Amino acid sequence: MQSLLRHLIRAVLVAALVVIALQVSNAQPSGKGKKPVWDGPKVTQIDIDGLRKLLKPNGKPVLINFWATWCDPCREEFPDLVTLDAAYKGKIDFYTVSLDDLADIKTYVPKFLGEQKAEMPAYLLKTPDDNAAIALVSSEWTGNLPLTILLKPDGTTAYLRKGIVKYATITAEIDKLVTPDAKP
């Protein structure tokens, strides 16, 4: 009987500890120590004026990739974009501009960028007039994704790719602009 009583007390104590542990793990922190919902890459919302600023080179070539998380070719090419960013960091300004829904700015977009280990500045374009934004980027663009555009330091287009970027081709185009004898 005494052995049964010890087992019963032990079982009740273990159950109580499990309940307490579950309550502590489900508790939400409050006050200053509250952890943000997402602690991954920051995605900044821009409008057409923000896009206009991205398209203006600041003394060096600019590479901009337009993409979306729902676009399979965009997702397929992203590892090459991350490699490009690492290879040309400091030599070019490189931005990614997502065309996902604004609701995805703190969920799917940063989650995908985090999974890819993307470090380049990331934006999400939200504008009431998509056609005006498309026309601002290039007269050759109809809104298809992905789109990658390389701008010379003077702002003119050096390279434009509708579809998955070819790594060897884009690096050759960038090299033309960043080599010491490159001229704008």
Tens-digit pLDDT profile for residues 13-54: 444 444 454 454 444 444 444 444 445 689 999 999 999 999
CA of 160: how far to CAs of 63, 150, 165, 178, in Å? 10, 6, 9, 17
H helix or E strand, kind and range, residue 147: strand 147-151
What's the total number of domains in the chain?
Answer: 2
Q: Are residues 6 and 86 in the same domain?
A: no
Q: Are residues 9 and 66 in the same domain?
A: no
- pLDDT at residue 137 greater than cutoff 70: yes
Q: What residues pair up with 64 in beta bridges, in sequence order? A: 95, 149
Which 8-state DSSP code applies to residue 35? Answer: P
Q: Are residues 62 and 7 in the same domain?
A: no
Higher pLDDT, 174 or 37: 174
The whole-number pLDDT of residue 28 equals 41
Residue 183 counted as domain residue = no
**Side chain identity, residue 101:** D
Q: Are residues 20 and 74 in the same domain?
A: no
Q: Are residues 65 and 142 in the same domain?
A: yes
CATH number for the domain harbouring residue 165: 3.40.30.10
Q: Are residues 144 and 61 in the same domain?
A: yes
Q: What residues pair up with 67 in beta bridges, in sequence order? A: 98
Residue 130's domain comprises: 43-178
The whole-number pLDDT of residue 27 equals 43
The pTM of the whole model exceeds 0.85: no
Taking the C-alpha atoms of residue 163 and residue 76, their distance in angstroms, rounded to an integer, is 11
Q: Are residues 17 and 71 in the same domain?
A: no
* Percent of the residues in the chain that have a pLDDT greater than 90, as a whole number: 73
Q: Are residues 101 and 11 in the same domain?
A: no
Higher pLDDT, 132 or 24: 132
Residue 184 counted as domain residue = no
